[in-house]
Structure 1
Amino acid sequence: MSTFNSSSTLLIEGPKFPSYNFISSSTNQFKINNQAIYLYHSNDLKINDVVNNDHTIKTAYSVWDASLILSKFLEKQCNENKLNFKGKKVIEVGAGKSIPSIASYILGASLVTITDVPSVVPEIEKIITLNGFENKNVFAKPLDWINRKEHIPILINEGPWDYILAADVVWVDYLIEPLIDTISELSTPSHTTLFLCHQTRTTRSDKLLFDAIENHGWKIHKVSMNELNLAEEFRKDNVEIYRGQKILS
């Protein structure tokens, strides 16, 4: 992600699944394979002063529906032996609260790297610690999609990445091209699988997104409804999951 341009605001719909308890061990926890995922309450986070109401940074402190839908999809796929994270390297872009990343580690990934803009990384590190993964192969790393030259070589060197995760990372048009550039640079053609959980907000943004994906040589397909975790009702009408690979040119 990168710094928000106030002239590019989109109206962002609030979450459909606001009732999960990520704070304590009481009832109604969000679990992956019966293991609860914990987050700090937004009011308890030591967020750096946000200059000019930086919208990109603020979005990192919300639990978005797409992150829960993607996490539960990954859980279902693994439990049905359609997906295997064991021994795999996973990286998430624009991670924010990092729920898909934490889920992938619970599901067996051997290395998980969680990325977001530099100012968000300390809070991701707190989430890693809160879930007891601070001495595991789970790391928070800075990655600004626009100003990525400093970060990308380090992350590429840690690969090749088996999976790239992205949940609800499209909400302003000007970030779409840098996002797809970033994902493409992180991927190894015909090896890395992308799971993109996308919430439609405007048809314009959708066209820009899927045109950029195609232009960068990705082949993607929409995951069918029956592959989602319907038993727990983790679906939403305007949220779709796409699976794809970059093809060798």
Structure 2
Amino acid sequence: MEAEEGEEWEKRMEIEENMRMSTIGSYGGKVRNLLVVCASSSSSSSAAAAAAAAALSKEEDVQTEAEAEAAEEEIMLLWGIQQPTFSKPNAFVSQSSLQLSLDACGRSLSILQSPSSLGTPGVTGAVLWDSGVVLGKFLEHSVDSGMIHLQGKKVVELGSGCGFVGCVAALLGGEVVLTDLPDRLRLLKKNVEHNLYGEIRGSANVHEFIWGDNYSNPEITDPLPDYVIGSDVIYSEGAVTELLETLLELSGPKTTIILAGELRNDAILQYFLELALKDFIIGRVDQTDCHPDYRSQRVVIYVLAKK
């Protein structure tokens, strides 16, 4: 009897997991949807209509609770299954080097870094992090496998830092706008000019962009981008609200958001997911869909689309 109950439970869990797997936005691969909403059965009876009206006032509270539970579940799964703390940090980068060489899109990209800037509070974009490498190679792998089409698409990168991800997107055919804070642009422009030489499939421009501001810049918002990308942009609770406001402002009906981040602080990630689920459909990319040579248990990739 217990064995039968166990098998039944496993079947239910398998069905639930299959229900969670779906495509989001323009990304053609299946992702694990963080929040599955089951449609309730409809009825035309007056009793059912009255019951629905009575329950309407509670719907928002129920939805908020579901979003909180989904975010909490995601954190438990990530830290319980992927166990990021047991994986080696900086597996693909050397932050003490002034220059990194990384192969992408048939080129050897030379990424200039400023290791001395790491000592400045709040400055992290002066060096490359694993999440940036994983995201850049994920884009390359996804384009090669037909899961993403960047040719001629407008791509806005948030927090471009050293510019590796944006350069890869341009080499893959994207019309890329790389953005960061004013004091980060000098290094960013150097890397774009240094690596995007000759004929490339797409284009790249660098612009100052402060989250929660600059929405009037037509280079960024007119038209709205096909893709918004970013790595390690979820780094503090204080930045979460401005980041979400920015993602909403940049999202049109055809915009797909792809964010990568290192699993450092579970509380900050959970806070972001809980708030983001109010306005976005969110799915996690499976590790097997990352580039086979550039995947890490410390790095997670999410695909988002505005509800």
TM-score (norm 1): 0.78
Verify the 8 A CA contact 2:178 2:205 in the aligned structure 1. Answer: yes
Q: Which runs of 5+ in 2 are unaligned?
A: 1-87
Question: Match for residue 90 of structure 2?
Answer: 15
Does residue 1:225 correspond to 2:291, yes or no?
no
Q: Which amino acid aligns with 1:16?
A: A
- Aligned to 2:229, the other structure's residue is in SS state strand
Question: Match for residue 10 of structure 1?
Answer: none
- Aligned to 2:277, the other structure's residue is in SS state helix
Alpha-carbon deviation of 1:165?
0.5
Verify the 8 A CA contact 2:230 2:258 in the aligned structure 1. Answer: yes
Verify the 8 A CA contact 1:22 1:30 in the aligned structure 2. Answer: no
Question: Match for residue 109 of structure 2?
Answer: 37
1:143 to 209, 223, 245: 209
Does residue 1:98 correspond to 2:174, yes or no?
no
Verify the 8 A CA contact 2:177 2:220 in the aligned structure 1. Answer: no
Q: Which runs of 5+ in 1 are unaligned?
A: 1-12
Alpha-carbon deviation of 1:156?
4.5
Aligned mates of 2:155, 2:98 — CA distance in 1: 23
Q: Which amino acid aligns with 1:36?
A: S
- The residue correspondences of 1:1-150 to structure 2 (distance < 5 A) are 15-19=90-94, 23=99, 29-42=101-114, 54-56=120-122, 58-109=123-174, 111-133=175-197, 137-146=203-212, 148=213
More relative contact order in 1 or in 2 (CA 8 Å, sep 6+)? 2
1:196 to 237, 259, 262: 259
Question: Match for residue 242 of structure 1?
Answer: 302
Alpha-carbon deviation of 1:54?
4.6
Verify the 8 A CA contact 2:98 2:114 in the aligned structure 1. Answer: no
Question: Which structure is larger by alpha-carbon Rg, 1 or 2?
Answer: 2
More helix as a share of residues: 2
**Matched residue pairs, number?**
216
Aligned mates of 1:119, 1:173 — CA distance in 2: 22
Alpha-carbon deviation of 1:158?
3.2
CA 1:89–1:128 in 2, change beyond 3 Å: closer, same or farther? Answer: same
Q: 1:140-189: CA deviations, max 9, x gaps?
A: 1111225x1xx22114443220110010112221111111111111111x
Aligned mates of 2:151, 2:209 — CA distance in 1: 25
Question: Match for residue 183 of structure 1?
Answer: 247
Verify the 8 A CA contact 2:113 2:127 in the aligned structure 1. Answer: no
Question: Match for residue 205 of structure 1?
Answer: 268
Aligned mates of 1:78, 1:195 — CA distance in 2: 14
Alpha-carbon deviation of 1:210?
0.3
Q: Which amino acid aligns with 1:178?
A: E
CA 1:191–1:120 in 2, change beyond 3 Å: closer, same or farther? Answer: same
TM-score (norm 2): 0.64
Q: Which amino acid aligns with 1:192?
A: T
Verify the 8 A CA contact 2:114 2:126 in the aligned structure 1. Answer: yes
Aligned mates of 1:34, 1:219 — CA distance in 2: 34
Q: 1:222-243: CA deviations, max 9, x gaps?
A: 011211112x1x1221311111
